[in-house]
Structure 1
Amino acid sequence: MKTLLCASLALAFWSNAAADEMVFNDCLAGLRGKAEAAGIEGASFDANTRDLVPDMGVLELLDAQPEFTTPIWDYLAALVDDQRVSDGQAMLLANAATLAQVSQEYGVDPQTVVAVWGVESDYGKTFGKRPLLVSLATLSCFGRRQDFFRGEFFATLDLLQSGDLKPEGLTGSWAGAFGHTQFMPTTYQRIAVDGDGDGRRDLVASIPDALASTANYLKQAGWRTGEPWGYEVKLPAGFDAALAGRKNKRPLSDWIARGITRVDGTPLPASDAQAGVLLPAGATGPAFLVFRNFDAIYSYNAAESYALAIATLSDRLRGGGALITPWPTDDPGLGRGERKQLQLLLLARGHAIGEADGMIGTLTRRAIVAEQQRLGLQPQDGRAGRKILDALRREGPPIQVPL
């Protein structure tokens, strides 16, 4: 009976896969003429799409972006940790000449440019593993937002046709962002520049191209040279949280008159610059005054948590410290070093989770749930937080737990 069930499931899977591939191939055939109308030569379209097979896994990710599904304290803990700060400071030194030229030409400080690089690809370490054309072709033929992804698909084909990109090993995120600073293809077409003077705009193989293009993006998004992105601030007692919001900007002098100061209590610089109060975790968590440059960062990926990660990382790269106000949680998030420690503790207890790499995947979450259940911790949600790490540390010598 079990063998028949497995065979039936396998047959159903094969049938679904075959049907998806048939729909995919018909879709690509229909897109060929539209690509030609967009300037893609038929021969180029055929060469770059001939062996594509749909990746249906990307459809599950359409509504699961971490910027919108991860608690802010977890999101920032993973992206603005000591390792990323240390690596970023090394990148500032290694690329000092390029960054000085970029800053002079585009007016964006080196720390902000490097912070984007660090958040987007961990300074070129993680470009994304999904074949770019496969992801974009799949999203062009299945799911919602097909028109949007078709534009990105055609833009990628255009960049390949022009010679800016090489097809070999071209990978990116599930949604099509790629390169050192993870440009979407249409953004690449509009904004990318040749930073190293070789006649190509290559954000995959050329760090100067990527850094210059990132600075150009921020400049085009309204970056104001010499102005801050914002400050962590202290709100006065009884502050009306209804006044908060990135878009609800008032003159800085108005916020000062309402009693807002820097987080350490020192006065803010007198100015009539427009600023908004950002409360990413509500009135009891860290508060920020954000200016026009925060909006420029936000435009890179429209999520306030994302913009805050880049902004606070840039401050750390300037020598600043971590946020002063604690997040309103009794279970703070973990940086990558602490996540690796947690994974080592799980491995020592017999959980087969693979390498301790600081990346929290399905196997690690399952192991955390098992340990939360064993220790009686609540909630038993598989989250890599401070509570489970501290509990395993307190236990002493590892205890082999059968899976």
Structure 2
Amino acid sequence: MKKLISLVVLVTAFVVAPKAVLAADEAGFADYVQKIKAEAIEKGYSEATLEKAFANAKFYERSVSADKNQPEFKLTLDTYLPRAVPEWKAEQAVEKYNEHKELLEEVGAKYGVQPRFIVALWGIETNFGGYTGGFDVVSALTTMAYEGRREEFFKNQLWQALTIIEEGHIDVEQMQGSWAGAMGQTQFMPSSFMAYAVDYDGDGRKDIWNSMGDVFASAANYLKNAGWRVDVTWGRQVQLPEDFDVSMAELKNKKTLAEWQALGVRKLDGTDLPTRADIEAAVVIPDDKEGRVYLAYANYDALMRWNRSHYFVAAVGYLSDRIRFPR
């Protein structure tokens, strides 16, 4: 009987404890919000802005859980790309490109970015605006600051979010994003919004949630400032010679195409590399020599500034290629 009682107590503890912890977190969060509001007043934010921003502030336990328990899967590019860019997404990318072609070409010409890359980023980030995250951005950022592991980072993002509200770019109710505070159809953190968002439609608001002109121009402006080149693509898949020294495969090791050619690097079909002397590239091996290998051009680096993941860059590049060469 004692063993049975102990088991019941143990099971009950596992059921009740998380609720108790959550209640404590929510109580502490309410106090933290008051502390944040007082600090914001000292920084010069208006009481009206703070009342709007924190009117429905809530503690997002899901944000804390997602941050602490981000899933890790052993993938290769060959298994990842079909998930990131299924056939329906590639087909939809072409449809979206054609639907917004006039606007995309106008934006692309202004910022020096090929429109297919704008669409590819849009598709990979939010499924062409179909999923931008259902979290209140102020609550998500405040939750992450309260959680404490990266308090200064998330507080700085929160101050910038308050600036966005105070400048009138978006109504608080529409300021939705990811559990970490990435916002709108471009998934900009507030600091990226402040640095790169564009009021392309001229309505006085930088609206990366609802205005397609602002969405496309903001993405293009980010890439332009990241060093984008309109005269080259992102990269190309290549094959390496058997004796290739893999220690040379890193983004900072740039060589001309002629130099890589001399080292035995070839196009995927075995033919010679292009002969352009004005292009430098790096060899990138996201998995191993037996997997996909890329020559990464300047635009590869620009995409890495957007998201420092070779898999992300490969997905955006692959989708942009599918837009350029639809099946």
TM-score of the aligned structures, taking structure 1 as reference length: 0.75
**How far apart, in 2, do the equivalents of 1:104 and 1:210 lie?**
15
AA in 1 matched with 2:204: G
Q: How far off is 1:294 after superposition?
A: 0.5
**How far apart, in 1, do the equivalents of 2:114 and 2:152 lie?**
36
**How far apart, in 1, do the equivalents of 2:65 and 2:326 lie?**
38
Residues 1:315 and 2:314 are matched in the alignment: no
Residues 1:125 and 2:130 are matched in the alignment: yes
AA in 2 matched with 1:316: R
Between the two proteins, the alignment pairs up a number of residues equal to 320
**How far apart, in 1, do the equivalents of 2:222 and 2:306 lie?**
8
**How far apart, in 2, do the equivalents of 1:295 and 1:153 lie?**
28
Structure scoring higher RCO (CA < 8 A, sep ≥ 6) equals 2
Unmatched runs of 5 consecutive residues or more in structure 1: 322-403
Q: How far off is 1:9 after superposition?
A: 5.3
Q: Which residue of 2 aligns with 1:72?
A: 76
Q: How far off is 1:95 after superposition?
A: 0.4
Residues 52-108 of structure 1: CA distance to partner in whole angstroms, max 9, x if unpaired? Answer: 221122223225556x74513333221122111110101111101110110110000
**How far apart, in 2, do the equivalents of 1:233 and 1:53 lie?**
49
Unmatched runs of 5 consecutive residues or more in structure 2: none
Match for residue 56 of structure 2 among 42, 51, 55: 51
1:299 partner SS: helix
What pairs up with 1:205-220 in 2 under 5 angstroms? Answer: 205-220=210-225
AA in 1 matched with 2:271: T
Q: Is the 8 A contact 1:253 1:272 kept in 2?
A: no
1:288 partner SS: strand
What do you get for the CA RMSD once the two structures are aligned?
A: 2.1
**How far apart, in 1, do the equivalents of 2:231 and 2:69 lie?**
36
Match for residue 252 of structure 1 among 257, 281, 292: 257
Residues 1:10 and 1:279: Cα distance change in structure 2 (over 3 Å) = closer
**How far apart, in 2, do the equivalents of 1:77 and 1:111 lie?**
19
Identity of aligned residues (%): 34
**How far apart, in 2, do the equivalents of 1:75 and 1:33 lie?**
46
**How far apart, in 2, do the equivalents of 1:222 and 1:37 lie?**
37
Residues 1:163 and 2:165 are matched in the alignment: no
Residues 1:306 and 2:317 are matched in the alignment: no
AA in 2 matched with 1:144: R
What pairs up with 1:236-247 in 2 under 5 angstroms? Answer: 236-247=241-252
**How far apart, in 2, do the equivalents of 1:13 and 1:267 lie?**
61
Residues 93-151 of structure 1: CA distance to partner in whole angstroms, max 9, x if unpaired? Answer: 11011101101100000100000000000101111122222211100111311111111
Match for residue 99 of structure 1 among 77, 101, 104: 104
Match for residue 192 of structure 1 among 184, 197, 200: 197
2:172 partner SS: coil
Q: Is the 8 A contact 2:201 2:211 kept in 1?
A: yes
AA in 1 matched with 2:108: S
1:269 partner SS: coil
Q: Is the 8 A contact 1:61 1:174 kept in 2?
A: yes
Q: How far off is 1:196 after superposition?
A: 1.7
**How far apart, in 1, do the equivalents of 2:12 and 2:258 lie?**
71
Residues 1:231 and 2:260 are matched in the alignment: no
TM-score of the aligned structures, taking structure 2 as reference length: 0.91
**How far apart, in 2, do the equivalents of 1:304 and 1:213 lie?**
22
